[in-house]
Amino acid sequence: MGSNFNFHREVNGQGHIFGDHGRIENRFGATLEAEERRLLIEELVQEIKAHESELPDPDGLISRTEELDTELHRDEPHRGILRRVVNNLTLGAAGVTAVAEAVDKVRKALGLGA
């Protein structure tokens, strides 16, 4: 038996599933436009470079940032890889507030939690 839907106004939002066999896909990173993604990563790199003397491994952080950028450019970025890289960036920030805040912006933009 099929379903009937009667919409009389505009339907907005994310995650709507209509129909008997509705399906929704989550594509992490896909919600970020390329320009927004580029700006967030650029901001993170700038903060790492600005505070490199305070960080235990700034080169490692730059490398993790490049890994993040590479994963985000894939057709279907893998959530587990994104989470691991962002967690490594958080640990690498080593209490440097400006770097930690830049990482947190990336985390939130990717929908990887608070």
Using alpha carbons, select from 105, 98, 104, 106 the residue that is nearest to residue 50: 98
Q: Which class for 29: exposed (0-12), middle (13-18), buried (19 or more C-beta within 10 A)?
A: buried
Task: Please tell me the total count of domains within the chain.
Answer: 1
Assigned domain for 16 exists: no
Assigned domain for 81 exists: yes
If one counts every other C-beta atom within 10 angstroms of the C-beta of residue 2, the result is 6
Model confidence over 66-113: pLDDT tens digits? 999 999 989 899 999 999 999 999 999 988 999 999 999 999 988 887
Assigned domain for 9 exists: no
pTM: 0.70
Domain of 81 in residue numbering reads as: 34-109
- What's residue 29's pLDDT? 43
Assigned domain for 21 exists: no
DSSP label of 103: H
- What's residue 35's pLDDT? 81
Q: Whole-angstrom Cα distance, residue 36 to residue 13?
A: 20
Model confidence over 20-61: pLDDT tens digits? 555 544 444 444 577 888 899 999 999 999 999 999 999 999
